[in-house]
Structure 1
Amino acid sequence: MAVFRGPRRWLWRWRRNPLRRRADVVEGWVLVGAWLLTLLAGTVAGFMAARTVERDLAQERAATHPMVAYVVAHAPGRSGARGSTGERVWAEVRWTAPDGALRTGQVRVTPGAATGVPVAIWTDGHGRLANRPATPTEATVRAAFIGTLAATAAAAVPFAAGRRLLARLERHRLSLWDSEWSRLGPQWGRMTG
């Protein structure tokens, strides 16, 4: 059976009231502390995670360089068979590393690419193949997404702890009320009877 609590009053735990108990004030401060810790933990974790992701992606962008490679052998598939799905096939390509050495590797190209067709690739500082780095816009979106996830996860801890502590305090308060009622309830029965 749900207990009727009546209308909510703003800051009722701190208002002067002869019925206010120490437990009400403690609950109020626990609630305020839990909310402050939730906001602080979420904000700090979110900004730190977002900043770390942006920094790592910027380092990745700085460490990779675009180059032109050339298809070594005819790529599988029909030339011009590229559909609306943007299908790509693996083919071997060759490029010249910054130190002048010839390198080869496998990259995705359009189906049926002929021998000698230029292909844009990304390499690291040693001339090895690397993944295309995230653009600054992609990095910002990734950082915001990961920051939001980190903020939510970090904020959930103090929020859940505060809710659990409030539930324990309420159970304790209700048990105090029960003990007081069991002591005073019989006296009321004599007065009204």
Structure 2
Amino acid sequence: MSSGNGNRKCRLWRWRSSPLRRRDDIVEAWVMLAVWVAVVVGGTLAGLVTTHAADQEFARQRAERYSVAAVLLTDVAPATAATDGMDGRVPAKIRWTAADGSTHTAQAPVPGGLRAGTSVMVWLNARGTLSAEPPSVAEGAFESALLGTGAALGLAGVVVGAGAVVRWRLDRRRIDEWGREWDLVGPRWGHKTG
């Protein structure tokens, strides 16, 4: 029990009055407290704000985008290793009819191996131009959580890095002060015994 109490005192020594405590020790203690508060509070807020903003954006995309049936104008080659990054989809020329009755033609990614005349679903945005399919509610929640976590970790990294730089500068200053003090005291200890 006493070792735990002594360990706690050791960790909090910069906060206690001591003839060995220097101004830089107090500054360092306050800086480290500020770093941890910023990491916990700021990281939490950054994560929550980012998650909320991403959720709103994905909900907006789901509300604005809609699917329409399109017709393939050409045969589509089977997906190859080069199209694996497109989820097995291959760019192909398609045609669709908009809600106002106008006909549109464009290139869009479609599943590979389909024949001309096949009906495929494509997504349009509020302006009626081709768009990516919006994430589902579950996909949006997962992506929002990832973005929020990334924002929290990013802020924490910046704050901890800034705190490390401040501590390094304080250590350099303490070492310089010790060197100057040693230059004053060292010659007095130059006497040899024996």
Normalising to structure 2: TM-score of the pair?
0.74
- The corresponding residue for 1:49 is 50
- Residues 180 and 106 (structure 1), Cα distance of their counterparts in 2 relative to 1, 3 Å cut: closer
Give 1:62 shift: 0.8
Q: TM-score, normalised by structure 1?
A: 0.74
Distance apart, 1:63 and its partner CA: 0.6
2:71–2:116 Cα contact (<8 Å) kept: no
Q: For residue 115 of structure 2, what is the amino acid of its counterpart? A: A
More helix by share: 2
Unaligned stretches of 5+ in structure 2? 1-6
CA distance in 2 between counterparts of 1:65 and 1:50 reads 24
Residues 108-141 of structure 1 show CA distances to partners (whole Å, capped at 9, x for unaligned) of: 24424242x2211212234432211111222222
1:87 and 1:111 in contact (8 A); partners too: no
- The answer as to whether partners of 1:31 and 1:162 remain within 8 angstroms in 2 is yes
**1:75 — aligned with what?**
75
Report the counterpart of residue 4 of structure 2 in structure 1: none
- Residue 122 of structure 1 aligns to a residue whose secondary structure is strand
Deviations 1:8-64 (A, max 9, x none): 922121234333233322221122122222334333333323322222222111111
- Equivalenced residue count is 182
Letter in 2 for 1:132: E
Q: Alignment RMSD, CA only?
A: 3.1
CA distance in 2, matches of 1:182, 1:124: 74
Q: Contact 2:124–2:130 (CA<8 Å) still a contact in 1?
A: yes
Q: Please, which moves more after superposition, 81-90 or 152-161?
A: 81-90
- Relative distance call for 1:127 and 1:27 in structure 2 (3 A) is closer
Aligned-partner Cα distance in 2 for 1:65–1:176: 69
Partner of 1:120: 121
Q: Contact 1:76/1:111 (CA < 8 Å) preserved in 2?
A: yes
Identity among equivalent pairs (%): 36
CA contact (8 A) 1:34 1:158 kept: yes
